[in-house]
Amino acid sequence: MILDDAYRRLPEYLDGGLLPHEREEMEKLFGQSPVLREALRVSLALEAALRQQPWLSPSRNFAHAVVKRAAAELPPAVTAWDQAWERIRAGLSVCALALILIFARHPLADFGMAALGGAGTWVGNLTGLTIFALHPIAVLALVAPVVAGGFAGCVLSGRCRLSSD
């Protein structure tokens, strides 16, 4: 290893990146060359200075000032997302309602016809409505589209990937 090469590879030597025989050669050169020794001394001092740089802290009200400036100067960064989310929610609600109507069209039609026909009493209608409301199939018809719609919305909006990252 020539002197120039050793000088150039000094940072690598200090980082422990040279092969054992190269390190040996380098250490021999330190004994022979005052220039290389001086470079080593400065490199060590430099390494220490870089590691001991002062760690500063911002002023006490820094975070408060930033938040205030953000609120004053710019529209909230989340508005776009909020608006998109509102649109998704509205879409999901419409879909859920449509699905409910599809699943429950027969009971609803029967109920409507009975009410319009006036054949039954209002107590009977109320009982029918209560039964419909508590009926497991009716409950499923209400809940399943909302759950399915919510899941689909979550997947489509790409938010689920956060948990897998």
Count of residues engaged in binding another protein, rule: CB under 8 A: 47
DSSP alpha helices (H): ranges in the chain? 3-8, 10-14, 20-32, 34-51, 62-73, 79-103, 105-117, 122-134, 136-156, 161-164
Q: Please say whether the beta carbons of 92 and 153 come within 8 A.
A: yes
Which residue from 10, 18, 36, 100 is in contact with another protein, where contact means CB under 8 A? 10
Q: Which is nearer to another protein, 63 or 143 (CB)?
A: 63
Q: How far is the CB of 89 from another protein (least distance, A)?
A: 13
Taking CB under 8 A as the rule, does residue 160 contact another protein? Answer: no
143 binds another protein (CB under 8 A): no
- Total residue count of the chain as it appears in this document: 165
What is the phi/psi pair of residue 17, to 5°? -95, 0
Roughly what angle, to the nearest 10 degrees, separates helices 122-134 and 136-156? 50
For position 162 contacting another protein by CB under 8 A, the verdict is: yes
Which of 46, 101, 131, 147 lies at the binding interface for another protein (CB under 8 A)?
46
CA 66 to each of CA 76, 79, 118: distance values in angstroms, whole numbers, following the listed order: 13, 18, 67
Q: How far is the CB of 21 from another protein (least distance, A)?
A: 20
Task: Return the residues of window 92-131 that contact another protein according to CB under 8 A.
Answer: none
List the x/- string, 57-76, binding to another protein by CB under 8 A.
Answer: xxx--xxxxxx-xxx-xx-x
- Asked if 146 contacts 96 with a C-beta cutoff of 8 angstroms, the reply is yes
Binding residues for another protein, rule: CB under 8 A, are 8, 10-12, 15, 17, 38-39, 42-43, 45-47, 49-51, 53, 55-59, 62-67, 69-71, 73-74, 76-82, 85, 158-159, 161-163, 165
